[in-house]
């Protein structure tokens, strides 16, 4: 059964620049630059028939291309026990619009609505037992992190395979943003 999620792939130069942030936090498992992405919706495991339905439902999503800027870093979890370090996204109505179209297409299909508010981010590292002071230092050091904007012209359905060496993400279907 494939495990699926919908995400924006990131241009290679953006992934390289994000990859340069890795380091300085004990207990951090940094995401390989080739795997960096911005998740729009985690779907989870679906059987073959459902996967086909997901593929065609996403083909019905229409949204315009838009510019995206990555800026800032932060963490999930508590201050004492952070579990993820991420790069942030500047406020972006185009992104919010696309995400809500993807969400409603999947809910129409019968998936449970995502209960959590959409908080766009790019996961940079997953943490276990990282000292709070080192996480705080990382975030303070990269306070002014910002990349030049790039054009988002497509979103992608990925499959995720969990292996011992970490998750392997494979782009399965790319959907062009063509405008409405």
Residue 107, classed as helix, strand or coil, is helix
Closest approach of ligand 3AM to the CB of residue 179, in Å: 26
Query: Is 121 an active-site residue?
Result: yes
* CA angle in degrees (0–180, nearest 5) for 105-111-117: 75
Based on CB atoms, which residue is closest to ligand 3AM, 58 or 180? Answer: 58
Asked if 98 and 155 count as a contact pair (C-beta separation under 8 A), the reply is yes
Query: Is 142 an active-site residue?
Result: no
How far from the centroid of its chain's Cα atoms is residue 108's Cα? 22
Closest approach of ligand 3AM to the CB of residue 10, in Å: 11
Residues of this chain that interact with ligand 3AM (CB under 6 A) are: 5, 39, 42, 44, 123, 160
Based on CB atoms, which residue is closest to ligand 3AM, 24 or 44? Answer: 44
Closest approach of ligand 3AM to the CB of residue 44, in Å: 6
d(CA 146, CA 70): 6
Based on CB atoms, which residue is closest to ligand 3AM, 61 or 157? Answer: 157
Based on CB atoms, which residue is closest to ligand 3AM, 11 or 42? Answer: 42
Burial 111-142 (b: 16+ CB within 10 A, else e): beebeeeeebbbbbbbbeebeeebbeebbeeb
Would you mind telling me the total number of residues written for the chain in this entry? 180
* CA angle in degrees (0–180, nearest 5) for 50-51-53: 60
Closest approach of ligand 3AM to the CB of residue 119, in Å: 9
How far from the centroid of its chain's Cα atoms is residue 85's Cα? 12
Give me the active site residues, please.
Answer: 37, 121
């Amino acid at each position: 059964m494939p495990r699926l999620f919908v995400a924006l792939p990131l241009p290679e130069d953006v992934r390289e620049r994000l990859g340069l942030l890795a380091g300085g936090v004990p207990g951090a498992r940094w995401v390989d630059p080739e795997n960096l992405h911005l998740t729009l919706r985690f779907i989870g495991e679906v059987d073959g028939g459902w996967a086909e339905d997901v593929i065609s439902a996403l083909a019905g999503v229409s949204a315009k291309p838009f510019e995206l800027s990555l800026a800032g870093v932060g963490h999930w979890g508590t201050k004492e026990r952070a579990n993820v370090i991420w790069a942030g996204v500047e406020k972006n109505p185009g992104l919010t619009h696309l995400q809500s179209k993807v969400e409603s297409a999947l809910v129409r299909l019968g998936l449970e609505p995502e209960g959590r508010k959409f908080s766009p981010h790019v996961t940079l590292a997953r943490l276990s037992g990282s000292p709070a002071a080192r996480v705080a230092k990382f975030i303070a050091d990269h306070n002014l992190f910002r990349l030049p904007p790039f054009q988002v012209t497509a979103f992608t359905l990925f499959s995720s395979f969990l292996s011992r060496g970490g998750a392997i993400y494979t782009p399965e279907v790319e959907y062009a943003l063509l405008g409405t």
